[in-house]
Amino acid sequence: MSFQNPLRQNFKHVRAIEAMLDVIHSVVVFTGDSAFKTPMPPNVTAGGGYVRYIRSFKTPALSEEQVRQAIAAIESGRLAATWGTHW
């Protein structure tokens, strides 16, 4: 089965969100029988390892109001779902 490189795809997603917001922490999670052939950065994990990564941040990145504003910014900037936006 062929699929896009998840790290490159995540990079594109992060850049799109960063264009709207000043703060973001990204995490890439592989599920199933995935195995890494090379060492991965801390934000790339398998299974439930994402919980440890998320909990490693002790200072909230955004207030509740900033979260609401971020959601509104993302929703207003979202492209319509088409074949082109999903590949």
Q: Rounded to two decimals, what is the model's pTM?
A: 0.51
Q: Is the pLDDT score of 68 beyond 80?
A: yes
Is residue 60 in some structural domain? yes
The pLDDT of residue 40: 86
Residue-number span of the structural domain to which 29 is assigned: 6-86
Report the pLDDT averaged over residues 59-71.
86
Is residue 1 in some structural domain? no
Look at the chain and report how many structural domains it folds into.
1
Is residue 74 in some structural domain? yes
Is residue 13 in some structural domain? yes
The pLDDT of residue 22: 63
pLDDT, tens digit, for every residue of 8-57?
777 777 777 777 666 667 788 888 887 788 898 888 888 888 899 888 98
Is residue 31 in some structural domain? yes
Answer for the pair 29, 48: CB distance below 8 angstroms, yes or no: no
